[in-house]
Amino acid sequence: MNAETLLTAARFAARAHHGQLRKGEADIPYVDHVLDVATRLAAVHPEDEVLILGGLLHDTVEDCDVTRDDIAEAFGEEVAALVMEVTDDTALPRAERKAAQEEHVRHASDRAKRLKLADKAANLTAIARTPPDWSQARMTEYVDWALRVLDPVRGLDPALEAGFDAAVAEARAVIARRG
């Protein structure tokens, strides 16, 4: 793992997400999310630099003024391809984007599936620890949807799946206490 490249990607993500905050009462900088995703991936796959870089950069095209070409120029074609594989089409309405994720993950590369496991686990942990201003029903719907997205990839990566399952359990417990 090239530490300089990793830190360059972390800086790139921090600058791209500058001023963005996570949903929730704590006003946590959005970059914490991508750092969480990359950390989850590095804990299980420390040798896979492309995967970890993808974790850091996975939301930059979707949520920021960053293009695929920007990522390819800075971090290579393989990283750019992974980022694009997990990037939602923001031109679609929210319900269609969610349905597209459910369908797409079935045909995604193993790296993209691993990244989705870490991403959804990070999102669920955030719901549990710094809940957004959502109703109990909306939080429950998010948990159920995350399971629909990722249940088809079960068997690929037991360690990441265990992290995802722990995040599901934590989110469900917090949602139940709030109800």
Catalytic member of 32, 48, 62, 78: 62
Q: Is 62 an active-site residue? A: yes
- Paired tokens of 95: 């319900």
76, exposed or middle or buried, with CB in 10 Å at 0-12, 13-18, 19+? middle
Do the beta carbons of residue 126 and residue 171 sit within 8 Å?
no
User: Is 63 annotated in the active site?
Assistant: yes
What 3 state SS string does 74-97 have? HHCHHHHHHHHHCCCCCCCCHHHH
Of 32, 63, 88, 165, the catalytic one is 63
| Catalytic positions, written as ranges | 62-63
